[in-house]
Amino acid sequence: MADQWNGKSQANALGFSIFLWLIRKAGLSSAYILLKFVAVYYLFFSKRANEGLIHFFSKIKLPQPASLSNRYKAFNLFGQSLIDKLATYMGAGKKLSFDFDNEQKLHELAIAGKGALLLGAHLGNWEIAGQLLYRIDTSIHIVMLDNEQQQIKSLLEKHASGKSFSIIPISDDITFVIKIKEALDNGGFVCMHADRYMEGMRTLKTVLFGEEATFPFGPFYMGSRLGSPVAFVYAMKDSKYHYQFSCSEAHQGEKPQELLDNYVTHLEEKASNYPHQWYNFYNFWK
């Protein structure tokens, strides 16, 4: 997958600055208007992303998978997810509202004090999840690659209004695994993606939408071996300013392959219901 995804953000510091300024000065609606032009740019000038979307839309048998309207909608929703993330991070996302399916399960896991591993995907607005979990009475930790441009990091920190979560950066050694275990042992929730891998990583395979696909081994191995419950979580946008956050039932004591198969069952369901919020913009099955 080295030629498809290298773990680095495609974000542009200038673009971040413009949207940060617009959100702060004029609000979400104005940022969404500018986004329409950015989405058109990607529709016509991002060949790999368009090919990846057409491939995915074909897999799920979406009518007219190659249509401009389907691809534009996906790019526009992706941009909205980034804008909503920035607005929430800055404390400027007051227009955004949320429903929380199966929230009680997360409260029960927090009360049990055994920690929980929450697995998501590049589907919907995963980055906003840390803010949605603020009302769960436990610490929240988000595992992510530390490849964001330093300039973008500085911009985000400058405009941040405070975070309700801590970040565990993925490292080349096992340091981050130790930090994950410590967080779980202390009863915290650890959130991480479980749908992408990079060249050299150990992997697992299973069938996704009728074709074999490859997934990272690490999240499912940790879910199997670290002893804490595992749940699958998603934040899906179902109207202009509204998100539906959902949590599956908890899984525990399963082997890595069993966890992956259950994870894919939920992934297929969510991706089928929200096809334009699939943000793996490359050939996921290659």
How far is 115 from 112, CA to CA, in rounded Å?
A: 8
Residue 51, C-beta contacts closer than 8 angstroms, at least 6 positions apart? 283
pLDDT of 7: 45
pTM value is: 0.90
**What tens digit of pLDDT does each residue of 186-231 get?**
999 999 999 998 888 899 999 999 999 999 999 999 999 999 999 9
Average pLDDT, the chain: 88
Residue 47 buriedness (CB in 10 A; 0-12 / 13-18 / 19+): exposed
pLDDT of residue 5: 46
CA angle 50, 55, 56 (to 5 degrees): 100
d(CA 74, CA 59): 15
- Per the CB < 8 A criterion, the answer to whether 32 and 247 are in contact is no
